[in-house]
Amino acid sequence: MVLIYQKKLDDVIEELDTSVEAGLTQAEVDRRLEEYGLNELEQAEQKTAWEIFLENLNNIIVYLLGAAAVLSVMMGDWIEAIAVLIAVALSVFTGFFVELRAQKSVDSLQDMVTTQTKVLRDGETEEIDSNELVPGDIMELEEGDAISADGRLIEVNNLAVIESALTGESEPVEKDPEVTYEAEEAVGDRLNMIYSGTAVTRGTAKAVVTGTGMDTEVGRISEMLDREEDSQTPLDKELDKLGKFLIMAAVFAAALVVIIGLFNGQAWTEIIHIAVILAVAAIPEAMPAVSTITLSRGMNRMAEHKALVKTLSAVETLGSTSVIASDKTGTLTENQMMVSAIVLADDEKFDVSGKGYYPEGEITQGDHVFDLSYEDYGEYEEGSLEQKLLTFILDGFLANNAKLKKVDADEAGDAFEIMGDPTDGALLVLAKKINLSRGELEEDGWELQEELPFDSDRKFMAVYYNGDKQRVIVKGAPDVLFERYLHEEDREYWEAKNEELAAEGMRVLAVASLDATAVDEGLGEADLEVIVDEYAEAIKIEGLAGIIDPPRDDVKGSIKQTQAAGIKVLMITGDHPKTASVIAQAIGLNHAENTMTGKEIDALHENEAGFLEKVKETAVFARVSPENKLQIIDVLRADNQIVAMTGDGVNDAPALNGADIGVAMGIRGTEVAKESADMILTDDRFSTIVEAVREGRIIFANIKKYVSFLFSCNMVEIMTVLLSIIFLMPMPLQPLHILFLNLVIDIGPAMALAMEPAEEDVMKEKPRDPNSGLVNRNFMTRIIISGIIIGIAAFAMFLIFERSQGDLAYAQTATFTFMAVAQLFHVLNVRKFGKFGLDKSLFDNKWLVIMVLVSVGLQLLAVYLPFMNSVLGTVPLRGITWLMILAGAVVTTGIVYLVKRLSGVHSSSE
């Protein structure tokens, strides 16, 4: 199949049945709009409020609670049933409202802006909404225009296009309609084509539209996205596993009761009644509410840190991340070209500091800072470093068409953007760092007579100033200027310096000049094209500018912290391997020297084992396609890694969608990227990802804490009831006692445990093993043992009071109260991993202190308030009973702590 860029232009025009001179008629446009549709990408369907509600309702713990409520109704326990249904409603509606609010926030962030495009219609140029473009339209483009459809170029004038959103490359691509191809080429190498989602950075062009909407290159990438099914996050899997365990626990407890009851000859009604009690005891009714509130709080905290999360479960996923695969341009770097180094003759090299387009920075050589001023130009000694350096900067400024524009300030201060070629912009910002201005130079007699624009054939541009000041300046590719203006004896030096800068990953630009007043006969009104050819001997190379797309300020520290947390960071980019490797080394990426190209991926990816090994030892993936990015993500996930992918371009979208969690840039990000992601960074900062990772780890640690607390409490209840059945004792608790413990006493401290601050080593541990899970053997063993110890103590307390008092209601009330106090004490064993929770850090979580005190107060009401006595069947307790309860709770808590220490738990990552 012959592709558009491989065909002759005349054949393309004929196939599209259009006219280069007149464009399409309006009647034909209307027909093609009917045939092809509007020039828009298909948008993924947003979840409706009803779908969000059903997703929150479709939860196995909710099902279990619903079943418990039905059983309670069947047994006539209406109060218990209502209480359980309240817990269900709390969980479902909390999750519903939080996710609905998050979706509305994403919708507002992704509002589409209609762009305008100039086209030929019925022989006249008119401006239309870009979504009305159709194949065959003739587009007219100029500097600054956004390109809204794919097209084959017809004619150009010095055209350069920024294609970073599509290819990942930060440098503009010079286009040439005359180029033809026989073999297939990557998108970034098709010089006779332009693509939707890119922008004209220099020159003008005329092009015929060859593809719109989903038939564009952007549309092709968009189709790679799997929008139909979201893969389960680690938390989804863990909660699903937990739900299954709950079913098993409930069924086992009920079956055991039936077997023991039949063996002891108990009546069926009594057996069913006890089975219902155990089933209710086996289900932590507070779990859905606490889980939802924990994740909701995490979502809100991430939003405060500029990370907008689309779903609750995605909040936790970053905390499990073992690999972050990051795009380079605009994510790790500023996506703003900046002069970083200057080289002059006589081996003089200077460093330039700064941040992208921000017009502040210093020019230094070693420890010396150059304070340059145009006002002092005439005062500098002839041939001094100051004079040569200022001349170089001045010439780069004079041979320049870019404009620096201040845009809306962000939290870090003023922000700037360049109108025009980014390379020109880099030289312009360099001049602004020493406060050069057009007005100042014009007042001093710098009058532009002629300009020779840059084009892809010449590979340089020139200007001729012929006012009070006379000067010819030539700026362009070093190899071209070396060939034209260097003597053989100087060539070796300048070529070596060029290679030195290039080896540092810089784009190199050479500047040469001719002082017109030094030419004996003068230049007068001579043609500039003639001057740059005939006066080649007099034109001298002044120096080289090394230009980079600098790393973002916060990236190096964030990379260091991320790698210290055991998370591998990969750079995945469409840029040149050498450039990418240099940036990777500058930001401190481990193994930054190990690179792999897209071609190498294509050759190796079918060999899964070999490809995985190569990926494991590689830190930088360069010149990659969207398919390559997805291949990298897939092989890592197949190796059981939890992968987060960051990016901002259309080319990142498939990998964003395919990763465990996709992280899109909210400011620079394209709409396709933001739609594909699970999380959007509203400040575009890599450091925000580190905050999200930290928050995710805190959330998972806190989930383990409150799950441990709630399950231990459930085990206490199950163990106490089972021991009573085994020893043929009366029931030590009433059904409402269990429900009161689960829904009133336990829920407050559990929610407070979800608000525990980070432990000291939260970002020093390796990512948790995905296979270990939340419900692993060690974790469940400690829960069961803790529950058994406290349950045995509760049963012993029941035996003591039942035998000594001879009053079942008093013994039940004492047992009920002991379980409440012992479970509250147990908070101290679960709030710290490997430590006892009674230390000064306890007051860092004031909510925990408050909730424990509230629970104690509620238990006192349950024991001493007459109304509660009648509802719960409790009786007031004497002082000596309270002393025994407190002593028993302290001893039991100490035993549980010793078991915890012996188990050797010191982290949350097991």
Distances (CA, A) of 312 to 235, 279, 682, 757: 10, 28, 18, 19
Distances (CA, A) of 60 to 74, 164, 245, 287, 427: 21, 45, 11, 11, 62
Q: Which residue has the tokens 């004492």?
A: 814
Distances (CA, A) of 800 to 14, 797, 810: 99, 5, 11
Q: Is 761 a catalytic residue?
A: no
DSSP count for the chain of H helices, then E strands? 32, 26
**Burial (Cβ within 10 Å: 0-12, 13-18, ≥19) of residue 882:** middle
Reduced to 3 states (helix: H, G, I; strand: E, B; else coil), residue 350 is strand
Out of 145, 327, 421, 660, which one is annotated catalytic? 327
Query: In this structure, what DSSP letter does residue 727 have?
Result: T
Q: Select from 448, 58, 430 the least CA-distant residue to 236.
A: 58
Q: Select from 237, 201, 4 the least CA-distant residue to 768.
A: 237
Q: Is 873 left (phi over 0), alpha (psi -120 to 50) or beta?
A: left
Q: 747 phi and psi, to 5 degrees?
A: -65, -40
Q: Which residues lie closer than 8 Å to 487 by C-beta, 6 or more apart?
A: none
Q: Which residues lie closer than 8 Å to 201 by C-beta, 6 or more apart?
A: 143, 144, 160, 161, 162, 172, 420, 421, 422
- Parallel, antiparallel or unpaired: strands 568-572 and 323-327: parallel
Which long-range contacts (C-beta less than 8 Å, at least 24 apart) are formed by 871-879?
871/79, 871/736, 872/734, 872/736, 872/737, 872/740, 873/734, 873/736, 873/737, 873/809, 873/812, 874/737, 874/809, 874/812, 874/813, 874/816, 875/807, 875/809, 875/810, 875/813, 877/810, 877/813, 877/814, 877/817
Contact 870, 734 (CB under 8 A): no
Structure tokens at 401: 């068409």
What does the angle CA 15 – CA 10 – CA 163 come to, to the nearest 5 degrees?
Answer: 85
Q: Which residues lie closer than 8 Å to 336 by C-beta, 6 or more apart?
A: 356, 357, 418, 422, 425, 549, 550
Dist CA 450 CA 460 (whole Å): 15
3-state helix, strand, coil in the chain (%, to 5): 50, 15, 30
Q: Select from 475, 473, 479 the least CA-distant residue to 501.
A: 479
Q: Which residues lie closer than 8 Å to 806 by C-beta, 6 or more apart?
A: none
DSSP H helices in 617-685: 626-638, 653-658, 671-676
Instruction: Please list the active-site residues.
Output: 327
